[in-house]
Amino acid sequence: MSTDSRTPAADSDLQRALDAVGDPVRRSILRQLADADPWTIACGQFDLPVAKSTLTHHFRSLVDAGLLEQRDEGNRRMNRLVRDEFDRRFPGLLDLVLDQ
């Protein structure tokens, strides 16, 4: 028999979601987003011990997973946590990250 008989697309989405949530820096980003109002935090305002370019890398990962939405406001790039759609696709996963 073949290795697995689930839909490959679904597992690919799940993989992306788990990867996004599996990094401690990204979890910290998610928590800081959850503690603030939408569109109130710019990329450079996160409290994180990594370089700017590293942050950009993590943002891309979160956007790809559907967890982060970004919007340019003049000079700065504002961020918003996307809870609804992600919760619908992966119930409980984001809560798990935010609760602990």
Residues engaged in binding DNA (CB under 7 A): 19, 22-23, 25, 42-45, 49-61, 70, 74-77
Q: By CB under 8 A, tell whether 92 contacts a second copy.
A: yes
Q: By CB under 8 A, tell whether 11 contacts a second copy.
A: yes
d(CA 79, CA 21): 17
Q: Which of residues 18-37 bind a second copy (CB under 8 A)?
A: 18-19, 21-22, 24-25, 27-28, 31
d(CA 95, CA 100): 9
Q: Are 40 and 78 contacting, i.e. CB atoms less than 8 angstroms apart? A: yes
CB of 71 to a second copy, least distance (A): 25
Q: Which of 85, 86, 68 has the alpha carbon at shortest distance from 77?
A: 68
Strands (E), the chain: 41-42, 68-73, 76-81
Interacting residue ranges for a second copy, rule: CB under 8 A: 1-4, 6-7, 10-11, 13-15, 18-19, 21-22, 24-25, 27-28, 31, 47-49, 90-93, 95-97, 100
